[in-house]
C-alpha cells in the first residue's frame, strides 16, 4: 500500500539557527496506522509534524532539503490551506486554535472559510464525533481544559481530513479525560478509517491504543516498529529518555527478557502465573501531620467575575491547613479548582469570604509583590513565566529586580542544574515544550521560595528531565518549607507525595494519604483519577499492601514469602 505520508531525506534548519534540527529524515506512514512518535524533549517530534502540515517550509522558511508529500501532495508546492483538507493538526498549545466565542461557531470556522455550504452540518458531525454535541451553544471559555482540547480536534474534523496529527493530546488532561480523548481517537481510527499520528510521552497509552511507534533521537529517526516490539526495547528507550510502561519495566527488572507485558491485562496474566496465593492483609490508612502550619484556608469561598458581570462560584467552603515539611499533591478533574486554590496562596486572587493565611499573615492585607518574596507559583503554561528575550535573562529577572548579591553565580548554577546552559541565549518562546517547562522551573528555583506551588510540572517532560525535576524538588525541600503540586500525573503522586488533597467542583472531597486514595474506587471515579499502572496491577493481583513504585513492587515480589496475595 502507498504511504499517505512520505518524507524523503529531509534536513531542516530553523531560520537564524546554525544547526539542523532534522537530519536526513526518512519516514513513511501508511493509511490506517495509529502511529505514536516518541523521543526525548527537543528531539524534533513537533518539528517533524510541522513538516507534515506544511508549516515547514511555508511558515518556518529555514534551510530545507529533501522532499515530503501528504496524500500525494508535495508539501513544498502545496499551500498550508490545501494540505489542511488532508491533514488536521491539534497543536500542543491547542487553546490558540480556538478562535470563535461559541462552540458550534468555532467548529464551523474552517469549513466556513473554505466556502463549504454544508459548514454547519460538518461542524455538528465533528462535535458529535468528539461527543460535544450537547455543548454547541456554550461559550468556548466555559469549557473545561479537556473539552477545549476535544473542540480543537472537532475544528480539524470539520474538514474531514484523512490524517489527524495531535501533539501531546493528553499532557494537561486528568486521567479520565485522557482516556476519553484516546477513546475518541480509537473510534476515529477504527470506525472512520482515519490515520492517526500522536506525539506522546505516556507509553502506557501508546500500549493500549497505538499500532506503530516511531522513535526519534537528536533529529534522527532511530526506528519505526510495531508497538509491542517498540515498547519492549527497554534499553533503547531509556537511552533516548523514554519511560517504558511501568508494568513492562517491572517485569524487565525482574529479569524477564523474552515476553515482556506492555498492557495491564498482559501484566495481570504474566504476574498471576508467577505468584503464589495467600490470604491478604488489609491496609489501614493513617496520616501523621507535622504540627507547624505554613498556610491555611478558613471558610474560604471564591468566585470569578464573568464577562456578563455575573459570578462564577468556584471554591466552596475550603478549610484546610498545610504544614511544614509536607509533600502535598493537589489532584482532581479538569476545572475542579486546583489552580484557583493556588492563586489564592499567591495573593493574585483574594477570597470573597473567609481568610487565607500564609506564614501567619492574612493574604488580604498583602500585595502579590510582598507575597512573592516567600511564595513562588510556577504556571501550568510555561510561556506565562517568560518576560525577557533569552532564557538567562528570564532566570535572572527576579534576582536582579530584588538586587540580590552574587546573583550571577546562582544563575549559572541553576542553568546547569536544569541543563539549560547551552540554551541560555535562546528566546524561551522558541524552545520545545519540554525545554520551556525546564526553563519555567529554573525561573521558580531562582527565587528561593519558602513555599513553592507547581502547577502540572511534569507535563511534556521526558524521563531525563523528570528525574531532574524530582532531584530539584528534593533539593528544594532542604530550605523550602512547603511544596504543593497540582497534578494529573498519578505516578508522581504515588512516588512523591506524603499527603493528597482531592478537589471536585470547588470542594475538598478527600484529604489523606495516597494509600487511602488509591484504594477508594468510588472516590477516584468521582474525581476522574485512574491510579498508576503499578498500583492498579497490585490491586488486580490483590497484593496487600499495594506497591506504589516499581521499586516497591520488585521488593515485594522478592519478599514473596512474606507478602500476601490472593487470586
Ligand atoms: N480567570 C477566570 N475567569 C473565569 N473563570 C475561570 C477563570 N479561571 C478559571 N476559571 C474557571 O474556574 C474553574 C476552576 O478552574 P481551575 O483552573 O482552578 O481548575 P483546575 O482544577 O486547575 O483545572 P485543570 O486541571 O484543567 O488545570 C473552571 O471552571 C474554570 O473555567
Ligand atoms: N521556531 C523555532 N526556532 C528555533 N528553534 C526551534 C524552533 N522551534 C523549535 N526549535 C528547536 O528545535 C528543537 C526541536 O524542537 P521540537 O519542538 O521539534 O522538539 P520535540 O521533540 O517536539 O520536544 P518536546 O518533547 O520538548 O516538545 C529544539 O531544540 C528547539 O529548541
At which residue does the C-alpha cell 479520565 appear? 176
Provide the grid cell at 147.
Answer: 473539552
Ligand 1 pocket, 527 CB below 6 A? no
Distance 339 CA to ligand 1 centre (A): 7
| Average predicted confidence (pLDDT) for the chain | 88
What are the distances in angstroms from CA 181 to CA 81, 108, 123, 146, 193? 26, 20, 18, 8, 17
Q: For 430-439, write each residue's pLDDT tens digit.
A: 888 888 988 9
Strands 220-226 and 212-217: antiparallel
All domains in the chain, ordered by first residue: 3-244 (3.40.50.300)
What's the pLDDT at 271?
Answer: 82
Give nearest CA residue, ligand 1 atom 7.
Answer: 304
What's the pLDDT at 278?
Answer: 40
For the chain, the residue count is 567
* Residue 72 near residue 462, CB atoms below 8 Å: no
* Residue 197 near residue 37, CB atoms below 8 Å: yes
Strands 311-323 and 451-455: unpaired
* Residue 180 near residue 534, CB atoms below 8 Å: no
Distance 157 CA to ligand 1 centre (A): 26
Q: Which of 135, 142, 338, 527 to mutate to test the pocket of ligand 1 (most atoms within 8 A of CB)?
A: 338
Ligand 1 pocket, 339 CB below 6 A? yes
Distance 309 CA to ligand 1 centre (A): 17
Ligand 1 pocket, 336 CB below 6 A? yes
In DSSP notation, 29-88 reads EETT-EEEEE-STTSSHHHHHHHHTTHHHHTS-SEEEEEEEETTEETTTS-HHHHHTTEE
* Residue 91 near residue 383, CB atoms below 8 Å: no
Ligand 1 pocket, 145 CB below 6 A? yes
Q: Which of 16, 17, 21, 37 to mutate to test the pocket of ligand 2 (most atoms within 8 A of CB)?
A: 21
Q: Give me the long-range contacts of 175-180 (CB less than 8 A, separation at least 24).
A: 175/488, 175/490, 175/528, 175/529, 175/530, 176/333, 176/528, 176/529, 176/530, 177/144, 177/145, 177/146, 177/149, 177/333, 177/334, 177/528, 178/202, 178/205, 178/488, 179/530, 180/131, 180/146, 180/150
Which distant-in-sequence residues (6+ apart) come within 8 Å of 250 by Cβ? 267, 534, 537, 550, 553, 554
Question: Which atom of ligand 1 is found nearest the CA of 142?
Answer: 31
Check pLDDT > 50 for residue 285: no
What's the pLDDT at 564?
Answer: 40
Q: For 132-161, write each residue's pLDDT tens digit.
A: 898 999 899 878 777 888 899 999 999 999
What's the pLDDT at 331?
Answer: 96
Check pLDDT > 60 for residue 288: no
Q: For 224-270, write each residue's pLDDT tens digit.
A: 999 999 999 999 999 998 989 999 999 998 877 778 999 999 998 88
What's the pLDDT at 458?
Answer: 87
Q: For 388-433, write each residue's pLDDT tens digit.
A: 999 999 999 888 887 777 888 889 988 998 889 999 999 999 888 8
Provide the grid cell at 286.
Answer: 493513617
0.90 exceeded by the pTM? no
Amino acid at each position: 500500500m502507498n504511504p499517505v505520508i512520505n518524507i524523503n531525506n529531509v534536513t531542516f534548519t530553523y531560520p537564524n539557527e546554525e544547526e539542523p534540527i532534522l537530519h536526513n529524515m526518512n519516514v513513511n506512514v501508511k493509511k490506517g496506522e495509529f502511529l505514536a512518535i516518541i523521543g526525548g524533549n527537543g528531539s524534533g517530534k513537533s518539528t517533524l509534524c510541522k513538516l507534515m502540515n506544511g508549516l515547514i517550509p511555508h511558515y518556518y522558511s529555514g534551510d530545507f532539503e529533501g522532499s515530503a508529500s501528504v496524500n500525494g501532495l508535495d508539501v513544498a508546492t502545496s499551500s498550508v490551506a490545501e494540505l489542511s483538507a488532508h491533514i488536521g493538526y491539534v497543536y500542543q498549545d491547542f487553546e490558540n486554535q480556538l478562535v470563535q466565542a461559541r462552540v458550534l461557531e468555532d467548529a464551523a470556522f474552517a469549513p466556513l472559510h473554505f466556502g463549504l455550504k454544508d459548514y454547519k452540518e460538518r461542524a455538528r458531525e465533528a462535535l458529535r464525533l468528539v461527543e460535544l454535541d450537547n455543548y454547541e451553544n456554550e461559550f468556548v471559555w466555559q469549557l473545561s481544559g479537556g473539552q477545549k482540547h476535544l473542540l480543537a480536534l472537532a475544528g480539524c474534523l470539520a474538514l474531514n481530513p484523512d490524517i489527524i496529527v495531535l501533539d501531546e493530546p493528553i499532557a494537561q488532561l486528568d486521567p479520565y479525560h485522557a482516556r476519553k480523548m484516546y477513546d475518541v481517537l480509537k473510534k476515529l481510527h477504527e470506525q472512520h478509517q482515519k490515520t492517526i499520528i500522536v506525539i506522546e510521552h505516556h507509553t502506557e497509552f501508546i500500549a493500549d491504543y497505538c499500532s506503530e511507534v516511531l522513535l526519534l533521537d537528536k533529529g534522527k529517526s532511530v526506528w519505526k516498529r510495531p508497538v509491542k516490539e517498540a515498547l519492549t526495547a527497554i534499553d533503547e528507550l531509556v537511552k533516548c529518555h523514554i519511560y517504558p510502561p511501568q508494568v513492562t519495566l517491572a517485569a524487565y527488572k525482574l529479569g524477564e527478557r523474552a515476553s515482556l507485558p506492555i498492557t495491564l491485562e498482559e501484566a495481570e496474566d504474566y504476574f498471576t502465573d508467577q505468584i503464589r496465593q495467600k490470604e491478604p492483609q488489609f491496609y489501614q490508612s493513617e496520616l501523621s501531620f507535622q504540627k507547624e502550619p505554613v498556610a491555611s484556608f478558613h471558610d474560604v469561598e471564591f468566585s470569578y467575575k464573568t464577562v456578563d458581570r455575573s459570578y462564577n462560584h468556584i471554591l466552596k467552603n475550603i478549610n484546610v491547613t498545610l504544614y511544614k515539611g509536607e509533600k502535598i499533591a493537589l489532584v482532581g478533574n479538569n476545572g475542579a479548582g486546583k489552580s484557583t486554590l493556588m492563586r489564592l496562596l499567591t495573593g493574585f486572587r483574594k477570597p470573597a469570604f473567609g481568610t487565607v493565611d500564609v506564614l501567619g499573615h492574612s493574604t488580604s492585607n498583602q500585595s502579590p509583590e510582598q507575597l512573592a518574596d516567600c511564595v513562588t507559583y510556577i504556571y501550568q503554561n510555561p510561556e506565562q513565566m517568560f518576560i525577557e528575550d533569552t532564557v538567562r535573562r528570564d532566570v535572572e529577572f527576579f534576582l536582579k529586580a530584588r538586587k540580590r548579591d552574587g546573583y550571577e553565580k546562582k544563575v549559572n548554577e541553576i542553568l546547569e542544574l536544569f541543563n539549560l546552559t547551552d540554551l541560555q541565549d535562546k528566546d524561551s518562546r522558541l524552545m520545545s515544550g519540554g525545554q520551556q517547562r525546564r526553563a519555567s522551573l529554573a525561573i521558580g528555583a531562582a527565587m528561593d521560595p519558602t513555599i513553592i506551588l507547581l502547577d502540572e510540572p511534569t507535563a511534556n517532560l521526558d524521563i531525563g528531565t523528570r528525574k531532574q525535576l524530582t532531584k530539584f524538588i528534593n533539593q528544594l525541600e532542604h530550605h523550602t518549607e512547603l511544596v504543593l503540586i497540582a497534578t494529573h500525573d498519578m505516578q508522581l503522586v504515588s512516588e512523591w507525595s506524603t499527603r493528597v488533597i482531592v478537589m471536585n467542583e470547588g470542594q475538598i472531597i478527600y484529604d489523606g494519604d495516597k494509600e487511602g486514595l488509591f484504594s477508594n474506587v468510588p472516590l477516584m471515579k468521582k474525581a476522574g483519577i485512574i491510579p498508576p499502572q503499578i498500583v492498579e496491577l497490585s490491586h488486580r493481583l490483590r497484593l496487600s499492601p499495594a506497591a506504589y513504585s516499581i521499586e516497591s513492587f520488585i521488593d515485594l515480589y522478592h519478599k514473596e514469602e512474606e507478602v500476601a496475595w490472593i487470586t
